[in-house]
Amino acid sequence: MWLRLLVSAALLTVLVTKIDFGGFVPDHHTNGTWAFLVAGVGLMAGSFVLAAWRWQRVLAVFGHSVRLRTLTKHYLAGQFVGNPLPSTVGGDVLRVSRSSADIGNTTDAFAAVILERLTGFVVLPVLVAAGFVAMPGLLDESRSLVAVLVAVATLVVLGGILFLAGHPRAAGRFADHDNWMRAIGAVHVGVDRLRRSPRDAVMILLAALAYQLVVVGSVYCAFHVVDVRIPNASVLAYVPAVAMVQVIPITIGGLGVREGMLAFLFHPLGVPTGRAVAVGLLWYGMTLLVSLLGAPAFAVGHRRSRTGGRPEVTPEASPAVAPAGARPGSGDR
């Protein structure tokens, strides 16, 4: 954590030296400014609900049914742990813990969170491509190549992960293990089921697409809050690329990386470094603000409900899609 704090501080220090503070924020605030700020926070809050819906669809692939309201509370609690609290334990750990109490299966809960995260890295490169299709002239900017390379690299890494996760001799060989490595096998089971059920895969990707589009919409509002006017297609092309880079675990919450990437990509479009940094901090600030809604859910804890958390179908009850060689009842471990 201290190393990541140091990197964040170093990157932000470099950016601060390049900021003209006279133009850091607009001199005059209008009703439209506040409207965009409220809209940005509202969209960020809505994205959390969509992320919970995406998570719900992934859990359904494993045969578990959990209410959206319950998963939204878990997601908010996880965001509270992962954002405002200076914790070295990610919010995903909390989500696995609490959802496992709902479905009675820790390995499925772990695999569902992993797969839910991976769907974002399918959709984000698609959004980058959509932005360039909507405005082909962006490709004439030399720095656009960085966004394209980020998208391509993400797809290559994702392809390698999915290949290993879906191969029976890679992640699949852990499906029968009785120790913690069984969780890796559960990811294999999820990938295998998605491959056999294209309809479920499409639904999950649509949920992921809706989530990422709403996040991009929130950042679009942040640009208007600081009075930056740029082509809408550039937001669609560049913001997802920034979102992919900021998850690299070298800083706290992407601080410094996110702001630096925004300044780098949008400078050729006439966006001053100060305004780009302000957009990045607003993006982070809106996320932090909405994450605070998870404080009560985190503080109160979670007790499995009698109706909302009971799985409708257990993995063992679906032999048609069970992995070869799986032992009956082993999924309860």
Q: What is the pLDDT of residue 319?
A: 36
Ranges of each domain in the chain: 2-19+31-299
> What is the rounded CA–CA span in Å between residue 72 and residue 297?
10
Cα gap 94→64, rounded to integer Å: 18
The confidence score (pLDDT) of residue 181 equals: 55
Distance CA 243, CA 241 (A): 5
Q: Residue 273: left if φ>0, alpha if ψ -120 to 50, beta else—which one? A: alpha
pLDDT in tens, the chain (333 residues): 667 667 667 766 766 666 655 555 555 666 778 899 999 999 999 999 999 999 999 999 888 999 999 999 999 988 888 775 554 457 888 899 899 999 988 888 888 888 888 888 899 999 999 999 999 999 998 889 999 999 999 999 888 877 776 666 655 555 554 545 555 666 767 777 777 888 888 999 999 999 999 999 999 999 999 888 899 999 999 999 999 998 887 777 777 889 899 999 999 998 988 889 889 989 988 998 998 888 888 887 766 654 444 443 333 333 333 443 443 333 333
Handedness of CA 60, 66, 72, 73 (dihedral sign): negative
Amino acid making up residue 318 = S
Predicted pLDDT of residue 168: 67
Neighbours of 214 (CB within 10 A): 19
- Provide the greatest CA pair distance for the chain: 67
- Please compute Rg for the chain using Cα positions: 21
DSSP-H helix ranges across the chain: 2-16, 31-61, 68-82, 91-103, 106-134, 144-166, 182-196, 198-225, 232-246, 257-266, 273-291, 295-300
Q: What is the pLDDT of residue 233?
A: 94
Query: What integer pLDDT is reported at residue 75 of this predicted model?
Result: 93
Q: What is the pLDDT of residue 313?
A: 38
